[in-house]
Structure 1
């Protein structure tokens, strides 16, 4: 029963779609698309700085937050080559892959530290040990909330570690899903930067999730003024396109849309959690727009069967091979179909 257009619940995109204000901003900008986007880009930097309570020279826009991640890796590789100090990148496993990918592309060794068994939390002591055992610089790539688990690392443990780390340890805190967090134990690394607690932190965020602008490729980094100045020298020139800049700015100014985006995701989350509880399938407490949940079976078989029923779900995430899958929280209408198919799978004994 393959659908012509499958429901895409596999890439953590926002199925609600762009805000009408963002669409109109793009249309309105077409008349000046022959100009460079310096003005809208500057306006977006100003807005991002205002929202986060930092100065404009603490903001670096990226062609998606993926570019911001790349600039940190390249900046430290350059520092490594200049100083003669070796560099490694340490990542939890599993997590979002871009920190590892950019390191691998650049010839930087990557150390993967498995999440804790059963709870799938960051194993902070093991992460620290990976750096302590290495004679050189370490870059930690830490996604909080983590992808694919959707869980957070509480601020108390995180903050104590990061703000007291030696100056040859650097941190990318990827907060792509921070707008969805409701757990009061979470605190953004931006607060630690504003408090001047550490110079080696770079927080990256994106407009791809809550703002539904994945195709526009707009993200940003926040760090100290000195760090941002250095990172900017490794960013692509003119890396923000006009459509992306005006769409991001319009979305940030569209409070009604942002509230709707968050509300629909929360509605979808409640629907999925309810059916998982009904079926007795374990799920991790999600602070994101996806849920990492048990399926009690072979993951690839489950993925294939979902595709056959017109739904695309998340891929396999080794080393977590104990029958868990990630499903993006699409619109409530899309999740109604997911719930229907999941119940059908239970009837067939597949989950």
Structure 2
């Protein structure tokens, strides 16, 4: 339940709100709300294929990218069952939880591999080990940039690892935050799919973040045509709602809004980095619309105190201790947060 008097900086939503063009597109579509959205769905698939430089047969639309995650997990579980194999999901820890939750709900095992201690990066050796010690199909769910750390992993290492993987290892790359990446070394997994690096690679994206359409529930997966067809078999049919489809189409055409959205987040990140630097609080290099920063003292207490001061920040992310995840809201919202954080410093709380 959203509490409207609180400043919500806890869900990595885009507090700019939907673009005016998206709102208008939804209003304009209400007259055909009684029709199935086949044409709009087709237009959206075509647009996504065009943006990513892939064919339409490589795009699977999701009711939020969470549905794409579920379908990939289910598809591989079913494949393993058919082949008489076991199936497991291997995840870095901490990361976004949905792949793990879907695997557990299907009764499958999940292996969690802690991020490296020094810089909270993927621990390639131990991720690989978890799959090597397993006889069946392993799915690696990799959120890159990762949530909650907002960091990316080295492109060349990740690419080489996926390239050299055996046939029973699959990779689900979640690039929900990729539009925010400034690191020039980053390569999208979509490029690797186009290069046919691996038939076992699926990339998912969402319109919840930069496009500010989290409530519209539209995401997508990109893979080889064969893999996409296998995933599609586990997607609900006609899973795209009209409002979501037209809102995304309008937003993607609204270059001014997208540029403004990115600019605002970058400005907010700069404000927060300066403040954290001033206070001597460590933060990880953010490539997303949130930042993972150190707080001295107990994180749970910090979260509670922030709420008492009208601000909701991210929950705790064990096994990492002493860090808080802050969504980068608008610069105005960041100014409010900065004021409270500096007050906490005065009181000796951070």
TM-score range, shorter chain: over 0.9
State whether structure 2 residue 277 is matched by structure 1 residue 277.
yes
Query: Structure 1 residues 185 and 4 mapped into 2: Cα distance closer, same or farther (>3 Å)?
Result: closer
Listed as ranges, the matches of 1:31-50 within 5 Å are: 31-50=31-50
TM-superposed CA distance for 1:164, in Å, is 1.4
* Whole-Å separation in 2 of the counterparts to 1:118 and 1:326: 18
Q: Which residue of 2 aligns with 1:28?
A: 28
Q: Is the 8 A contact 1:40 1:242 kept in 2?
A: yes
For 2:139 and 2:4, locate their aligned partners in 1 and report how far apart those are by CA, in whole Å: 44
**TM-superposition CA deviations, 1:155-185 (whole Å, max 9, x none):** 1000000011011100100000000001012
Please state if 1:222 is matched with 2:212: no
RMSD of aligned Cα (Å)? 0.8
1:242-253 matches, cutoff 5 A: 242-253=242-253
The equivalent of 2:288 in structure 1 is 288
SS at match of 1:51: helix
For each residue in 1:272-321, what CA deviation from the matched residue of structure 2 results, as whole angstroms up to 9, or x when unmatched?
00100000000000000000000111011000000000000000000001
Match of 1:341 in 2: 340
Partners of 2:268 and 2:238 lie apart in 1 by 37
Instruction: Give the match for residue 191 of structure 1.
Output: 191
Q: Is the 8 A contact 1:155 1:185 kept in 2?
A: yes
How far apart in 2 are the matches of 1:16 and 1:163?
A: 39
Q: Secondary structure at the match of 1:320?
A: coil
- Matched with 1:200 is 200
Q: SS of the counterpart of 1:72?
A: helix
- Residue 109 of structure 1 corresponds to 109
Task: Provide the rounded CA distance (Å) in 1 between the counterparts of 2:197 and 2:301.
Answer: 47
Measure the CA separation in 2 of the matches of 1:85 and 1:117.
Answer: 34
Counterpart of 2:221 in 1: which secondary structure?
A: strand
CA distance in 2, matches of 1:126, 1:186: 23
Report SS of the residue matched to 1:61: strand
TM-score if structure 1 supplies the norm length? Answer: 0.98
Secondary structure, aligned partner of 1:193 = helix
Shift of the alpha carbon at 1:24?
0.2
Equivalent residue of 1:171, what SS?
A: strand
CA distance in structure 2 between the partners assigned to 1:141 and 1:344 by the alignment: 39
1:122-164, Cα deviation, whole Å (9 max, x unpaired): 1011101110111111000000000000000111000000011
Q: Write out per-residue CA displacement over residues 193-212 of structure 1, whole angstroms, 9 at most, x where no aligned residue.
A: 00111100000000000000
Contact 1:103-1:110 within 8 A present in 2 as well = yes
Cα distance in 1, alignment partners of residues 102 and 162 from structure 2: 22
User: Is residue 2:89 matched to residue 1:80?
Assistant: no
Runs (5+) with no aligned partner, structure 1:
none
> Segments of 4+ in structure 1 off by > 2 A?
none
Which residue number in structure 1 is paired with residue 303 of structure 2?
A: 303
* Secondary structure class of the residue paired with 1:210: coil
Distance 1:253 1:23 in 2: 13
Secondary structure at the residue paired with 1:142? strand
* Counterpart Cα distance in 1 of 2:64 and 2:120: 27
Q: SS state of the match for residue 291, structure 2?
A: strand
> Matches of 2:186 and 2:88 in 1, distance apart?
27
Specify the alignment match of 2:331 in structure 1: 332
Q: Tell me if structure 2 keeps the 8 A contact 1:154–1:187.
A: no
Deviations 1:72-97 (A, max 9, x none): 00001111111111011000000000
Count of matched residue positions in the alignment of Structure 1 and Structure 2: 348
What is the deviation of 1:118?
2.6
Q: Secondary structure at the match of 1:336?
A: helix
For 1:148 and 1:52, the matched residues in 2 are separated by 26
Deviation at 1:4, TM superposition (A): 6.2
**TM-score, with structure 2 as normaliser:** 0.99
Q: In the alignment, what sits opposite 1:145?
A: 145
| Residue aligned with 1:203, SS | strand
What is the rounded CA distance, in whole Å, between the counterparts of 1:80 and 1:197 in structure 2? Answer: 22
Aligned-partner Cα distance in 1 for 2:35–2:131: 47
Once residues 326 and 69 of structure 1 are traced to their aligned partners in structure 2, the CA distance between those partners, rounded to angstroms, is 23
